[in-house]
Structure 1
Amino acid sequence: MSDRSESSVASGEDGNGRIEQIAAAALRLFARYGYKRTSMDDIAREAGVARATLYLHFKGKDDVFRAMLAGLGGQVETRCREALATPGPFAHRLAALMEAHHGTAFSAFSAGEHLGELKAVMTAIAGDELAAFEALFVRFASELFEDAAARGEIAIARSGLSLNSLIATLTRAAAGAKYGEQPSCEHYLIRLREVAAVFAAAVAPAASAPS
């Protein structure tokens, strides 16, 4: 990976809008056909731009892939903020957050059977973007747990884990919910809600815990 960004510097709203347009088109193609089978020409056609325009903003497919992942991260961040503002009990807000982060990512890539390949590509060429994406959940989950604890809704210590360990375990559980035969988006969201219910029960205050 180059030490500097491979994206050409785009000026004005038109440039930013065009990059978002290309990144969204690339996401659809990568999900449908995988990384290897998607060419720059395919991306240009899907985005409705000339090949020269594509190369004005990106030097190659790796660069497009990184922009695609960063763009998805921006969408997920917005949805996570909305999830934290969701009214209702802690378990409901936790489920909303997991759906906003893990559910959005899963639905974006679940159109085809290329999750394994795309995750390998993320690790190989988009490590910084992948780390930033994963850090989003840690940041918002920490905010959710800490706020709920301050309000007396939950007691983190009842889980027997530190907050960092609790969120790391929650992240692994969300990943584990995809194992086995690939679930549909609807079934994956159901699994995320079940995971959220289990973790909410683990931190329920003593007075709220079932006898």
Structure 2
Amino acid sequence: MSDRSESSVPSAEDGKGRIEQIAAAALRLFARYGYKRTSMDDIAREAGVARATLYLHFKGKDDVFRAMLAGLGGQVETRCREALATPGPFAQRLAALMAAHHGTAFAAFSAGEHLGELKAVMVAIAGAELAAFEAIFVSFARQLFEDAAAKGEIAIERSGLSLETLIATMTRAAAGAKYGEQPSCEDYLLRLREIATVFAAAVLKDDTRGQVPP
């Protein structure tokens, strides 16, 4: 006998919860096995739903992948907001923001050795979702820098770069910190803190330089 919740038409709230459940299951599988080796049947089993339920919400694996990336973006956005709300000197908040965004994303996909494949899939089939995900860091970083400048903690012009260039360069540095032999989550977070230290030092005023975290 089929489960009533599986066979009946879900409410909007139930549907949202089911999509999140499936997206979370897909994230685990994509991280562990990669995109190509993960099938829709695998996702259904991991999510604990019937295959028919999976196709009720998604046309195929590409749709699941896009929902997975969008769901991860929602989690990252929450963590970024919490990082900015945490009291502390500018350098500490910048390090927390980088950990909330780049560190959370790395931790989500670092269970296997499929980062390269998954990034290629993101570019190929989830361009809009990837752009939205990357825009999260840009938005919160801009807010952090502008608020710190307004409070007199930093002087962005000290770096000799525009704020847009600073943020773009930090993003590239965070991506570059993954290259070579894949670091552990702990090592990657350390590299992010080092990147934050360098960029904070570039804009801190002389009377706040002692606030750069070790």
Q: Shorter-normalised TM-score: what interval? A: over 0.9
Match of 2:178 in 1: 178
- 4+ long deviations beyond 6 Å: none
The CA distance in 1 between the partners of 2:164 and 2:50, in whole Å, is: 47
Match of 2:99 in 1: 99
Q: TM-score, normalised by structure 2?
A: 0.92
Q: How far is 1:10 from its partner?
A: 6.5
Asked if 2 retains the 8 angstrom alpha-carbon contact of 1:10 and 1:16, the reply is: no
Q: Please state which structure has a larger fraction of its residues in helix.
A: 2
The CA distance in 2 between the partners of 1:209 and 1:85, in whole Å, is: 21
Asked if 1 retains the 8 angstrom alpha-carbon contact of 2:153 and 2:208, the reply is: no
Aligned residue identity for 1:178: K
The CA distance in 2 between the partners of 1:207 and 1:44, in whole Å, is: 57
Alignment gaps of 5+ in structure 1: 1-8
The reply on whether 1:145 has 2:145 as its aligned counterpart is yes
**Root mean square deviation of aligned Cα:** 1.3
Q: How far is 1:128 from its partner?
A: 0.1
Q: How far is 1:176 from its partner?
A: 1.1
The CA distance in 2 between the partners of 1:35 and 1:209, in whole Å, is: 45
Q: How does 1:57-206 map to 2 (within 5 A)?
A: 57-206=57-206
Name the count of aligned residue pairs: 202
SS at match of 1:181: coil
Asked if 1 retains the 8 angstrom alpha-carbon contact of 2:94 and 2:196, the reply is: yes
What percentage of residue pairs aligned between the two structures are identical? 86
SS at match of 2:148: helix
Alignment gaps of 5+ in structure 2: 1-8
Aligned residue identity for 2:98: M
Listed one character per residue, the Cα deviations across residues 15-65 of structure 1 (whole Å, up to 9, x for unaligned) are: 100000000000000000000000000000000000000000001000000
